[in-house]
């Protein structure tokens, strides 16, 4: 069986080549997955509807984004210019995670080649996140009875504060964030389970901590998992403060994915952050998520 992977050419937006966010990574990752024969074709998403978006975001915020009437301070907080290609990209990438979340139910595993915009909360965006795709998709599954108790495993180097805010009073979604203690956001939210990591942590300690908390999570009765596989934990990342190697990221992804797949719990994998100093290395690191899933689903 081939791993279902969602991708769209409009994951790219015209924010400029000198922007801090490596927007070209989405197209390059798609090409990499095809060229390395990790997958043969992509599933194509539609723009996420306003009806679906408003379960995780206020109607006022959605309208201001779509109409380009968001105030300057809110635009600055997001970090992207509010232009047509950014708006379209945000809607398509969110639609991509919704599609991937449904495919994971059918196949056991599915991935988006974007997603993990975990800093956006109900009232607005932040940190290169316009709409919170995982929160939107989680609400979508719950509303349709496709999942009953969802776990969000967020291993991006930055805390998933948007998810913890959106689901703070929702007993059907459990937020787990394992992140750099000293990194963005300066003011952390409160997840259901937060694990704060010290600067310069290396593979052995990181994997040991992750295994410990996965054992704890296994005692809960989850029937669906979203995995935010940020690679900004890498030792060569511009915005990370950890020292995790290529092998450490591979071990992390395989550990998380196998843990839930072996129990028959559907898992939807999304990209999360990555700002490696070496662009080609960044693509390679992001592809580990898809390679790990593909290896399991084909076995």
The string of pLDDT tens digits covering residues 235-280 is 999 999 999 999 999 999 999 999 999 999 999 999 999 999 999 9
Q: Is residue 9 part of a domain?
A: no
CATH number (domain holding residue 150): 3.40.800.20
Q: pLDDT at residue 299 above 80?
A: no
Question: How does pLDDT run across 138-166, given as a tens digit for each residue?
Answer: 999 999 999 999 999 999 999 999 999 99
Stated pTM of the model: 0.97
Question: Given this model, what pLDDT does residue 208 score?
Answer: 98
Q: How confident is the model at residue 187 (pLDDT cuts 50, 70, 90)?
A: confident
SS3 232: coil
Question: Given this model, what pLDDT does residue 204 score?
Answer: 98
SS3 152: strand
Question: Given this model, what pLDDT does residue 151 score?
Answer: 98
Mean per-residue pLDDT, 227-238: 97
Q: pLDDT at residue 184 above 90?
A: no
Q: Is residue 14 part of a domain?
A: no
Return the bridge partners of 41, or none.
Answer: none
Mean per-residue pLDDT, 33-52: 97
Q: Residue 64, exposed/middle/buried by CB under 10 A (0-12, 13-18, 19+)?
A: middle
Backbone angles phi, psi at 225, to 5 degrees: -135, 130
Q: Is residue 132 part of a domain?
A: yes
Average pLDDT in the chain: 97
Any idea of the CA torsion for 48, 34, 119, 22, to the nearest 10 degrees? -120
Q: How confident is the model at residue 18 (pLDDT cuts 50, 70, 90)?
A: confident
Angle 84-107/59-66 helices, nearest 10 degrees?
Answer: 130
Q: Is residue 4 part of a domain?
A: no
Q: What percent of the chain stands above pLDDT 70?
A: 100
Question: Of all helices (H) and strands (E), which one includes residue 254?
Answer: helix 246-261
Q: Is residue 18 part of a domain?
A: no
Return the bridge partners of 225, or none.
Answer: 151, 267
Q: How far apart are CA 279 and CA 80, in angstroms?
A: 20
Question: Given this model, what pLDDT does residue 16 score?
Answer: 85
190: left (phi over 0), alpha (psi -120 to 50) or beta: beta
CB 195 within 8 A of CB 188: no
SS3 38: coil
**200, two tokens:** 């310069």
For strands 193-197 and 5-6, give the pairing: unpaired
- Length of the chain (residues): 299
Q: How confident is the model at residue 234 (pLDDT cuts 50, 70, 90)?
A: very high
Question: How does pLDDT run across 109-119, given as a tens digit for each residue?
Answer: 999 999 999 99
Q: How confident is the model at residue 225 (pLDDT cuts 50, 70, 90)?
A: very high
Q: How far apart are CA 14 and CA 90, in angstroms?
A: 12
Mean per-residue pLDDT, 77-105: 97
Query: Residue 112 belongs to what domain range?
Result: 25-298
Mean per-residue pLDDT, 33-58: 97
Question: Given this model, what pLDDT does residue 5 score?
Answer: 98
CA 204, chain centre distance (Å):
24
Question: Given this model, what pLDDT does residue 61 score?
Answer: 98
Count other C-beta atoms under 10 Å from residue 204's C-beta. Answer: 9
Q: Is residue 16 part of a domain?
A: no
Question: Given this model, what pLDDT does residue 15 score?
Answer: 86
Q: Is residue 5 part of a domain?
A: no
Q: Is residue 104 part of a domain?
A: yes
**31, two tokens:** 């090409």
Half-sphere exposure of 132 (CA within 13 A, CB side): 32
Q: pLDDT at residue 201 above 80?
A: yes
Count of structural domains, the chain: 1
Backbone angles phi, psi at 69, to 5 degrees: -115, 15
């Amino acid at each position: 069986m081939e791993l279902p992977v969602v991708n769209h050419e409009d994951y790219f937006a015209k924010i400029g080549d000198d922007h801090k966010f490596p927007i070209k990574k989405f197209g390059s990752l798609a090409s990499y997955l095809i060229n390395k024969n990790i997958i043969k074709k992509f599933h194509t998403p539609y723009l996420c509807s306003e009806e679906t978006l408003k379960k995780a975001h206020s109607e006022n915020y959605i309208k201001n984004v779509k109409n380009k009437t968001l105030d300057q301070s809110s635009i600055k907080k997001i970090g992207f210019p509010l232009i047509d290609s950014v708006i379209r990209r945000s809607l398509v990438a969110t639609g991509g995670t919704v599609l991937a979340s449904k495919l994971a139910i059918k196949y056991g595993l599915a991935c988006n080649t974007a997603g993990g915009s975990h800093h956006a909360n109900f009232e607005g965006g932040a940190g290169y996140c316009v709409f919170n795709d995982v929160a939107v998709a989680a609400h979508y599954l719950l509303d349709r009875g496709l999942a009953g108790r969802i776990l969000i495993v967020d291993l991006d180097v930055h805390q998933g504060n948007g998810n913890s805010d959106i689901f703070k009073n929702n007993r059907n979604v459990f937020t787990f964030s394992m992140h750099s203690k000293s990194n963005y956001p300066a003011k952390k939210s409160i997840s259901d389970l937060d694990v704060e990591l010290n600067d310069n942590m290396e593979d052995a300690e990181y994997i040991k901590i992750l295994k410990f908390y996965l054992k704890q999570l296994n005692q809960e009765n989850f029937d669906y998992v979203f995995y935010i596989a940020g690679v900004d934990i890498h030792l060569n990342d511009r915005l990370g403060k950890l020292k995790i190697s290529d092998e450490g990221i591979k071990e992390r992804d395989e550990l998380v994915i196998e843990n839930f797949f072996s129990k028959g719990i559907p898992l939807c994998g999304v990209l999360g952050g990555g700002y490696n100093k070496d662009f080609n290395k960044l693509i390679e690191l992001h592809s580990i998520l898809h390679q790990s899933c593909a290896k399991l689903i084909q076995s």
